[in-house]
Amino acid sequence: MIQILLGLWIAVMGAGISMQPLLNAQVASRAGHPIYGALISVFVSTCLMAAIVVLARLPAPNLKALAAGPWWMWIGGLIGGLYVLAALMATPRLGAATTVAIFIAGQLIASIVIDHFGLLGVPHHPVDLPRLIGVAMLVGGVVMIRWA
């Protein structure tokens, strides 16, 4: 049951991802610059996570463990902020379907590389023909969504 609920939540959030850049673009337009749209979006996200921490009564994070982690783990936050900015700048110009399809294609290509080499602690899953065909089909889908 948990897996079904998690799957539904992910599907709803996937639908939200197609709307988020357009909503952020509205904020950016009113604020005067795309970077403000991204900044405000990330700020609202931060406030939501802080509220969840308080409501869930989570203990403070282990700052020593965080400080001892590898420097590159902080890149995730950079990617998140730049994703929001890229999406809000691209979606009004390319359309929601094209933007999301390009993001998914990029995610899939990177994920296959990560799996193939077992990067960032994931189990090794070598590239094979079905995976390559899947990537080619998705990239073909991006082309068809945008230019067909």
Q: How many CB atoms lie within 10 A of CB 43?
A: 10
- Distance, in Å, from the CA atom of 88 to the CA atom of 96, rounded to the nearest integer, reads 10
Of 107, 104, 103, residue with least CA distance to 85 = 103
Q: What is the pLDDT of residues 13-50, one digit of tens each?
A: 989 988 999 999 999 999 999 999 999 999 999 999 99
Tokens of 9: 């939540």
List the pLDDT tens digit at each of the 148 positions of the chain: 899 999 999 999 989 988 999 999 999 999 999 999 999 999 999 999 999 999 999 999 999 999 999 999 999 999 999 999 999 999 999 998 889 888 988 998 999 999 999 999 999 999 999 999 988 998 898 888 888 7
DSSP state of 33: S
33 φ/ψ angles, rounded to the nearest 5 degrees: -165, 145
Which residue has 């850049």 as its token pair? 21
- Whole-model pTM: value is 0.83
Report the distance separating Cα 80 and Cα 87, nearest Å.
11
Q: What angle do CA 129, 114, 110 make, to 5 degrees?
A: 80
